[in-house]
Amino acid sequence: MTRKGGDMILELKQTGRGFCTAGFAIKRLTEETGTVSLSGKPWSMEAYISGIYRGMEFEMLPDRHSAAGKKRFRPYRIRQDGRETGSVYQTIHKDSMCKSSGYHRMEKDGMIYSMYPVGFGIEGSRCPVYCGDRQTAQAEKDGTVHNDMHYYRILATDENAAFTTVLFCMYMYVNACYKPGKRAALSEVKTVSVTTDRFLKEKYNPDFRERITD
């Protein structure tokens, strides 16, 4: 993948859904920059994810041998062009003995990225992505889903941040939206989630999305 500087906005749009499969297209403006496919088994919530982004092949595979006791939940390994580059998983931030906050973390190519889910009720979710203490991207998802076909809007400061967020979005999809063993049906589902967790809310910067132009 050629890394390019400058802001960009991507669309990650579901294009198909089968009994245990799903397909997505990645677009920047009118250009299709990649595709993603997902396949699993009817008795398992895990799935194998593969795709291509700007000519680079990538995979996400369930990591059943990850070491326990490290606050790493539901880990997936990441491969790019056949090379193991890292992992993505759910983890927690402990505010106190009685309170903790859940979020997603990715370790890739020697860097650590964090995605923080923030719910805004009927408006849907805004999920800022950080590398260290710097916000590099944000994934947005509407609160209403038609016919079980999901859509993510990605705002990023550069190519690497955009691709990293595509991986985060697919990880969110397989953990929260993937429904193996169920047929697609005409539907309209509204999800109303309001985040009150102070740690997560503080990660959201309302000015970030206004600064990203493409």
pLDDT in tens, 48-57: 999 999 999 9
pLDDT in tens, 142-187: 999 999 999 999 999 999 999 999 999 999 999 999 999 888 788 9
User: Judging by DSSP bridges, how do beta strands 125-131 and 47-53 pair with one another?
Assistant: unpaired
User: Judging by DSSP bridges, how do beta strands 47-53 and 73-80 pair with one another?
Assistant: unpaired
Residue 74, pLDDT above cutoff 60? yes
Report the share of the chain in percent with pLDDT over 90.
84
Residue 208, pLDDT above cutoff 70? yes
Provide the mean pLDDT of the chain: 93
pLDDT at position 157 is 97
User: Judging by DSSP bridges, how do beta strands 56-62 and 73-80 pair with one another?
Assistant: antiparallel
pLDDT in tens, 27-64: 999 999 999 999 999 989 999 999 999 999 999 999 98
Residue 2, pLDDT above cutoff 90? no
Residue 65 in 3-state DSSP? coil
Domains for the chain: give ranges and CATH numbers: 5-203 (3.20.90)
Q: Residues with Cβ < 8 Å from 173, sequence gap 6 or more?
A: 22, 38, 150
